[in-house]
Amino acid sequence: MNSIITAPVPGTVPDPKYPDSDGRPMGDTDFHNLALIDLRQSLEDHFVDVPDVYVASNLILYYKKGDPSKRRDPDVLVARGVGKHRRRFFRIWEEKATPRVLWEVVSRKTWRTDIGEKRWLYARIGVKEYLLFDPEGRYLKPPLQGFRLVKGKSVPIKPNADGSLTSTELGLRFLADGERVRMFDLKSGQEILTRKERADRAELEKRRADELADEVKRLRKRLKDE
């Protein structure tokens, strides 16, 4: 019987030449971490049923085959046309795809590189949209900014009247709200809640349902006693 040999899925096999960690501690603030977690989880949940959309955070992105020094670790990465499996890294030539959207949550240490060098690099390697958010509101004015690739050039995304940004790649609208970014689905207009907000809403609905059930029981008992 002939055995079928299948190649490993991209990004899963350890490769000493392309480490899956840079060995440096992140050292980010709570402002940065919480904004990043909300972004990653909300995007992941929104695209959970879309089989070819992959969302990751702090995954090393290698963009030039044969040169491991050509790498970045964007805060959030969204790619299309690839599997959802867990990865150690994202190598563009292996995936045969460039991430469509990259996010950076800026901090005191990174904001100059985020708004400058990374903008031009991401455009050069073909990232369609690059979005930045400053959860502390100290480094970017306005705190939510974005750039879109137009004819090979990085062009600022024009904010909507409320200061929000429209992502044509993701079909979403993003709005800075204090220390976090809120998301809205362009088709439905509905806000995409965070996992905590959904859990809180479910708990509130359960409590209301329990209270209603208790009230119905009391009413039935009163009618029976009469």
Q: Spell out the per-residue pLDDT of the chain, length 226, in tens.
A: 455 556 778 878 878 878 777 665 555 788 889 999 999 999 999 999 999 999 999 999 999 999 999 999 999 999 999 999 999 999 999 999 999 999 999 999 999 999 999 999 999 999 999 999 999 999 999 999 999 999 999 999 999 999 999 999 999 999 999 999 999 999 999 999 887 877 666 666 666 766 666 676 777 777 777 6
Rounded to 5 degrees, what are φ and ψ at 20? -95, 10
Q: Helix 30-46 and helix 195-225: axis angle, to 10°?
A: 70
Q: Is the whole model's pTM more than 0.75, yes or no?
A: yes
8 A C-beta contact, residue 10 and residue 95: yes
SS3 172: strand
- Other Cβ atoms less than 10 A from the Cβ of 118: the count is 19
